[in-house]
Amino acid sequence: METRLAVPFSVPLLGDPFTTVKNPMIFSSIDFFVSVTVRSVPLPGPELIVPIFNPQLRRTIAQILKKRGISGQLLISPQPGGKNENDFLATASLLYIGGIDNSESGLPAILDRVDDRAFFILSRALTSLSGGFVVCRRGEGLISLDGCLDASIHLKLKGSVKNTRPQLNLFSSLFPDLAEPLWHLTGHLVLEGGKAIRRGDSETMGKLLNLESSLAQSVGLVKIGDLCRTARLKGSYGKKVMCSNAMRGELILAPKEILPLPSYQSFHFTQEGVHEVEKC
């Protein structure tokens, strides 16, 4: 059996540099949909094979699907070049096939036991399932945010990723009295971002993006040159350097009528989640 899905891309708005210190983060889906075909090949017995590279994420998704009575070899196409993007698309598609959404009662425990990269990819995939804006945190699961931002986002993604945990651990060891208050502050940026989304306050969200990037630079996650290269569009609300364990790049939040710089891709936020296009 084959099922063709439309999967919206999702990106982190706030909190991604600091998830390894158990802070929350906000994801949003955007109006860039990837067409994914999921094909099921029968296997003898209850065996299940899923096309995910990350070992922890692969085991986690397989366990979820087996509980739903799904077996066989599941294949997705096309497969992107990068492992993280492949795992994101595969996770979002397979959870949709399994009838999972981000309100599942078992998600807090699942999100709490996977590694940093799997946590990011799984949270991102669950955001794409629901569409809109989602706040997630280890041990607490995910909550969809009611609200919107009347704005466009302009992205420039990098292919490479870097583990943020060593740098955050180094800062904690060098400045133990500063670290916990700083992590607490960065967590509150996400809470303020949630309030901005509920109010539809794009200007405040832009200021929060700027502040988070500055704090990420202060602890060594972002170089000053990264901030300088993140050129602001004239009249934009704000910018950030994305530096998570599974996605790196630059994001600019701007009014809808602002045209992107030549090296950026322009998108809008969407409330539409993963949906079925065709089944055969």
Give CA–CA dist 189/178, Å, rounded.
Answer: 17
Confidence tier at 233 by pLDDT (50, 70, 90): confident
Share of the chain above pLDDT 70, in %: 97
The domain 2-279 having CATH identifier 3.30.450.20: the answer here is no
SS (H, E, C) 213-271: HHHHHHCCCCCHHHHHHCCCCCCCCEEEEEECCCCEEEEEEECCCCCCCCCCEEEEECC
Whether 17 and 244 have beta carbons less than 8 Å apart is answered as yes
Q: What is the pLDDT of residue 162?
A: 80
Q: Using the predicted structure, report yes or no on whether residue 222 has a pLDDT greater than 80.
A: yes
pLDDT in tens, 49-80: 999 999 999 999 998 899 888 889 999 888 77
Helix 165-174 with 176-199: angle, nearest 10 deg? 130
29-52 residue pLDDT tens: 999 999 999 998 988 878 899 999
Determine the Cα–Cα distance for residues 115 and 121; give it in Å rounded to an integer.
Answer: 10
- 86 touches 61 (CB < 8 A): no
Q: In what order do the strands lie in the sheet with 152-158?
A: 238-243, 248-254, 152-158, 265-268
Residue 209 has pLDDT above 90, yes or no: yes
Q: Tell me: pLDDT of 173 over 90.
A: yes
The amino acid sitting at 274 is V
Distance CA 32, CA 86 (A): 16
Contact in structure between 183 and 18 (CB atoms under 8 Å): yes
